């Protein structure tokens, strides 16, 4: 395996980590609008992600930094072509952070309602637009012979891209519901699982449609196999939730999201961005990569620091592993 392929896989793994971990954060944020009955229950929801949500966002920063360092042409074309959607995602994430961090700073109910609205907005928008962006990488965007994006915002909002957005939006809501079921006790846990099962039926249909569409476009056997595996994992998660196996339900949705990312990157390889104008103008792991010396240095850095990050984040999840309920929230 050459270093360009290795770093393509590394970036795919970083996106898996980000979407699996931040995915349940987005799901919990969306549930603020539909699951919690009062302020105490909303505080329970926020406390399930309180110790981990900011660490989960580190995966996005590392994925972006790794793309910039390992594939500068990919980074330049993607971030210029997807400028408006990515800017909207960034604004939504900032609004979400403000809602989470400042919600408890004032006691007025009107203030907390506005913060809750900010959290919901900051969760729905990225959950939708990340799916749109990833689907466009595979579906193809107008890239000219100079490797420059020549489309507009509406170019990205075609049926395949919008389907990708709906898939991530629904999967994250189910993922977040099962995370709440895993982390809480009492009435809020039961309603979270029930909501996850209801939304899960729709999410399974959307996931199946997206997996078939992606595999049919690519035609590779590997893409078909991984797509079917993603759907099977999601179905296993729904079955586990129905049987009251909260841990396995969460594992099922996590594996499904991870395999969805594998499906997209498997269909993409060896391209990193597909040109809809001419396949010869597509960016690939070869023509978009940094020099071999740069990739070698990056590899040594990754080997040195990745275990530290994984150990720290695993430790934080272990420390805050216990379930909580309304009885644990002080007045």
Res 150: pLDDT? 86
Cα angle: 260, vertex 11, 208; to 5 degrees: 10
Say how far apart CA 151 and CA 74 lie, in whole Å.
16
What is the arithmetic mean of pLDDT over 51-56? 88
Take residue 238 and report the two structure tokens written for it: 């729904």
CA-to-CA distance for 295 and 56, rounded, in angstroms? 25
- Mean pLDDT over all residues of the chain? 91
Closest of 227, 248, 247 to residue 167, by C-alpha: 227
* Mean pLDDT within 132-147: 89
pLDDT value at position 316? 87
Q: For residue 89, what pLDDT is reported? A: 95
Q: Could you tell me the two tokens for 67?
A: 């793309």
> Is the peptide bond preceding residue 270 cis, with omega within 30 degrees of 0?
yes
At CA 92, angle to CA 265 and CA 127, rounded to 5? 35
Segment 250-267, tens digit of pLDDT: 999 999 999 999 999 999
Which of helix, strand or coil describes residue 271?
strand
Q: Given this model, what pLDDT does residue 136 score?
A: 92
Q: How far is CA 277 from the centre of its chain?
A: 28
- pLDDT grade for 105, boundaries at 50, 70 and 90: confident
- Lowest-confidence pick of 53-62, 93-102, 224-233: 53-62
> 3-state SS of the chain: helix, strand, coil percent to 5?
80, 5, 20
- Cβ proximity of 115 and 102 under 8 Å: yes
The torsion angle over the Cα atoms of residues 117, 102, 31 and 212, rounded to 10 degrees, is 90
Give the span between the Cα atoms of 326 and 35, in whole angstroms. 14
First-to-final CA distance of the chain:
57
Specify the pairing of strand 271-273 against strand 283-284.
antiparallel
Judge residue 91's burial from the number of C-beta atoms within 10 Å of its C-beta, 0-12 exposed, 13-18 middle, 19 or more buried: middle
E strand or H helix that includes residue 97: helix 83-102
Whether 132 shows a pLDDT value over 80: the answer reads yes
Which pLDDT does position 109 carry in this prediction? 86
pLDDT for 72 equals 93
Section 217-228 average pLDDT: 86
Distance CA 184, CA 190 (A): 9
User: Is pLDDT at 218 greater than 80 in this prediction?
Assistant: no
Confidence class for position 238, pLDDT limits 50, 70, 90: very high
pLDDT bracket for residue 30 (50, 70, 90): very high
Q: How many residues make up the chain in this entry? A: 331
Flag whether pLDDT at 154 surpasses 90: no
User: What is the C-alpha separation between 57 and 255, in angstroms, rounded?
Assistant: 19
């Amino acid at each position: 395996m050459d270093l360009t392929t290795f770093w393509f896989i590394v970036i795919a793994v970083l996106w898996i980590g980000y979407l699996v971990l931040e995915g349940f954060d987005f799901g919990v944020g969306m549930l603020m609008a539909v699951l919690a009955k009062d302020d105490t229950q909303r505080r329970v929801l926020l406390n399930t992600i309180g110790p981990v949500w900011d660490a989960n966002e580190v995966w996005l920063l590392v994925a972006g930094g790794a793309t910039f360092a390992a594939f500068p042409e990919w980074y330049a074309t993607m971030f210029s072509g997807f400028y408006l959607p990515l800017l909207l995602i960034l604004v939504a994430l900032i609004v979400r952070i403000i809602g989470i961090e400042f919600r408890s700073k004032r006691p007025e109910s009107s203030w907390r309602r506005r913060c809750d609205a900010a959290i919901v907005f900051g969760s729905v928008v990225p959950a939708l637009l990340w799916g749109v962006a990833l689907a466009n990488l595979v579906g193809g965007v107008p890239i000219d012979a100079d490797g420059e994006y020549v489309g507009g915002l509406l170019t990205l909002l075609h049926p395949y891209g919008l389907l990708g957005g709906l898939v991530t939006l629904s999967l994250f809501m189910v993922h977040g519901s099962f995370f709440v079921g895993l982390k809480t006790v009492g009435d809020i846990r039961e309603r979270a699982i029930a909501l996850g099962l209801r939304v899960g039926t729709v999410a399974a249909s959307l996931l199946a449609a997206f997996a078939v569409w992606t595999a049919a476009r690519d035609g590779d056997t590997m893409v078909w196999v991984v797509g079917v595996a993603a759907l099977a994992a999601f179905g296993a998660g729904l079955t586990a939730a129905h049987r009251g196996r909260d841990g396995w339900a969460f594992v099922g949705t996590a594996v499904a999201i991870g395999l969805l990312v594998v499906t997209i990157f498997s269909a993409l390889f060896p391209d990193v961005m597909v040109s809809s104008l001419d396949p010869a103008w597509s960016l690939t792991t070869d023509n978009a990569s940094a020099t071999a010396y740069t990739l070698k240095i990056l590899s040594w850095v990754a080997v040195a620091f990745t275990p530290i990050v994984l150990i720290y984040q695993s430790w934080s999840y272990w420390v805050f592993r216990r379930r909580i309920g309304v009885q644990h929230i002080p007045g």
